[in-house]
Amino acid sequence: VWFAGARGSVATTTIVGSLLLRAGLARPVGCVTALPDFPSDGLVGVADLVFGGHDVVDVPLAKRAEQLVSAGVLPAEPVAAIAGQLGEAATELRPAPVSGDVVAAIAADLTAFRERVGADRVVVVNLTPTEPPLDPLPAHSDADGLLAALASSELRLPPSSLYACAAFVAGCSFVDFTPSPGVRVPAVAELAIRAEVPYAGNDGKTGETLLKSVLAPMFARRNLNVRSWSGLNLLGAGDGANLADPGARASKLASKDRVLAGTLGDVPPGEVGIGYVPDLGDWKTAWNLVTFDGFLGVPMRLEFTWHGCDSALAAPLVLDLARLVAAAHRDGRVGPLPELGFFFKDPLGDGPHGLDAQWRELTAFAAGLGQP
């Protein structure tokens, strides 16, 4: 598993968590593929995953883990107990290439990593900060032209798309855990087909949208008439600071809207705000108000407040996705994996947005892994 954004909270929690699981110092809470519904023989074991990655910052992994211990995201004593393994894991983290032919540089690092650790295949997981939506350009439609233009610096793409390109060039699969452009650039998607590798995305569904994906179908199935759905997401840490940027916020809000359109038919009126509250740190508080009509137009309301730790919700899903996408790669799946919509706010393809329908697609997909 190769992370773009390897020193961020999610990647650090994923690496530390997998070490703790391997050491028997943690239970796989939050890991969907650890449920009995998932046949373990079709999947790569968590213990067999090896991690590496790029980041633009160079704070040591042990330091990041320590910060997350202070923030209450990681448990103090177990983390102290795996200090050695963590130091070893840190040796596979590299500075992110930022100049020259970045795609080629990333791809070279991916190939070298795969060989060095003796992996059968590599899953690249994008965890870099959310980027604004990308205006389409003619150059985005031609795979060869795109690579050439990137190599000669005639064209610029955001990191999410650069990592996707590099993953495909190096024959790796790709997971976009963010709502950034990534594989949405047509030429990048074409590279995946050429490389005969699968990819999954977009935007990990960890909190408010997870709730929407069960509550909206509830209203639909009870034939209740949702009149408005409003909310405010308050988040601290780097994610909050980044989403204070209007462009990044636009990507995130568009991604969040999908679930209501996909389950209620229409997006009901209502504002969804995102607020940056540094004091919340790695936690996220989301409040939603749903107004709806019952029989004979009687007005009713539902409010909820979700108070979750994003890294702790995301990290086990990253492990799940690495296991599932690696298995799909092994089984020869190519291109988008719409069956993984369960994990995403804005799933690839035309699949369902209700969590239960996504669950059935996911378990059917998992049941087929490793089958002849």
The footprint of a second copy on residues 282-301 (CB under 8 A) is 285, 287, 289, 291, 293-301
Does 83 engage in binding with a second copy (CB under 8 A)? no
Does 85 engage in binding with a second copy (CB under 8 A)? no
Q: In the set 262, 308, 341, 347, which binds a second copy (CB under 8 A)?
A: 308
Task: Candidates 93-101, 142-150, 254-262, 272-280: pick the segment binding a second copy (CB under 8 A).
Answer: 272-280
Does 234 engage in binding with a second copy (CB under 8 A)? yes
Does 177 engage in binding with a second copy (CB under 8 A)? no
The least distance separating a second copy from the CB of residue 112, rounded to whole angstroms, comes to 30
Cis check for the bond before 225: say yes or no (omega within 30 of 0).
no
Taking the least distance from each CB to a second copy, the nearer of 184 and 353 is 353
The least distance separating a second copy from the CB of residue 71, rounded to whole angstroms, comes to 10
Does 66 engage in binding with a second copy (CB under 8 A)? no
The least distance separating a second copy from the CB of residue 16, rounded to whole angstroms, comes to 8
Does 152 engage in binding with a second copy (CB under 8 A)? no
Taking the least distance from each CB to a second copy, the nearer of 99 and 305 is 305
Q: In the set 87, 137, 303, 364, which binds a second copy (CB under 8 A)?
A: 303
The size of the interface with a second copy (CB under 8 A), counted in residues, is 76
Residue 136 CB partners (closer than 8 Å, separation 6+): none
Taking the least distance from each CB to a second copy, the nearer of 22 and 227 is 227
Q: In the set 11, 26, 185, 192, which binds a second copy (CB under 8 A)?
A: 26
